[in-house]
A and B are shown apart, each in its own frame.
Chain A
Amino acid sequence: DIQMTQSPSSLSASVGDRVSITCRASQGINIYLAWFQQRPGKAPKSLIYDASTLQSGVPSRFSGSGSGTDFTLTISSLQPEDSATYFCQQFVSYPYTFGQGTKLEIK
């Protein structure tokens, strides 16, 4: 199975900050990487697929980059509603696997 490792596990930042979350795959996954946002008690929301393609309706302050084994989710100007847990996921091969999550708190 492909292991997905996110860092950091948690972070705290202020409104307007630029924030980055990293996801590393245990083997190359090309660009088959997705990012999700999950608020407490809610379903995941799809943000990005194919490493850098924004889902329809996702604000442009979210962006994704990377290929192979190393990927980054960046929020260019943090907003209060971005407080959530973020997960990455590989969909190059079964079983699909997710990172353990990064909890983002707004100061």
Chain B
Amino acid sequence: GQSLEQPSEVTAVEGAIVQINCTYQTSGFYGLSWYQQHDGGAPTFLSYNALDGLEETGRFSSFLSRSDSYGYLLLQELQMKDSASYFCASNAGNNRKLIWGLGTSLAVNP
């Protein structure tokens, strides 16, 4: 089957750095995406990795290792507004369907 695994909850303090890992098992892997979702809102695109390595976008970075079927989202200089759910998702076929992880709830405390 196809699945993406990520931790269910992470807690950190303001100003800290947090890493959310995602391991995947998919057929026909095309790339790994990361989305942020606040309560009551729709997912917002954060980052995408098609190739191995690190992608940096401001305070957020994402890493992919295709050989390890593993990726992570790195959030730096955490702010209270970063408290949200974070999902990894994989485009695993030419039908463009996204396979979603179960999400990681991040709580940023003062």
A and B held together in a complex:
no
Please give the residue numbers on chain B whose beta carbons come within 8 Å of chain A beta carbons, in ascending order: none
